């Protein structure tokens, strides 16, 4: 579980979410390029688990960023 400091500014939270989406995208690209016939089932499970965790974190961070944007009165909200 990711602990999110909701007092952080919108841009900080959005940047963290973007980093996690980028990491998830990279893992999915690696998975797509992988020779599945040579991959171990445990490796596929590990990649899928990591992507799921990163996407959940990104989703939670984007929600917190939306709250921060509203709190800050930003045009992003």
State pLDDT tens for residues 8-67: 999 999 999 999 999 999 999 998 888 878 888 898 899 999 999 999 999 999 999 999
Residue 77 lies inside a defined structural domain of this protein: no
**Is 77 a residue whose pLDDT tops 70?**
no
Residue 44 lies inside a defined structural domain of this protein: yes
Number of domains in the chain: 1
* Domain interval for residue 24: 10-72
What is the model's pLDDT at position 76?
Answer: 58
Residue 20 lies inside a defined structural domain of this protein: yes
Residue 61 lies inside a defined structural domain of this protein: yes
End-to-end CA distance of the chain: 25
Residue 39 lies inside a defined structural domain of this protein: yes
Residue 24 lies inside a defined structural domain of this protein: yes
What is the model's pLDDT at position 26?
Answer: 96
Stronger pLDDT, 74 or 28, i.e. the higher one: 28
* Gap between the Cα atoms of 6 and 13, Å rounded: 8
Residue 62 lies inside a defined structural domain of this protein: yes
């Amino acid at each position: 579980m990711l602990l999110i400091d909701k007092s952080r500014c919108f841009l900080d939270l959005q940047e963290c979410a973007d980093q996690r989406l980028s990491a998830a995208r990279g893992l999915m690209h690696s998975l797509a390029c992988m020779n599945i016939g040579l991959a171990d089932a445990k490796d596929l499970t590990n990649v899928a688990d990591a992507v799921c965790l990163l996407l959940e974190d990104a989703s939670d961070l984007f929600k917190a960023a939306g709250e921060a944007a509203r709190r800050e009165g930003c045009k992003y909200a």
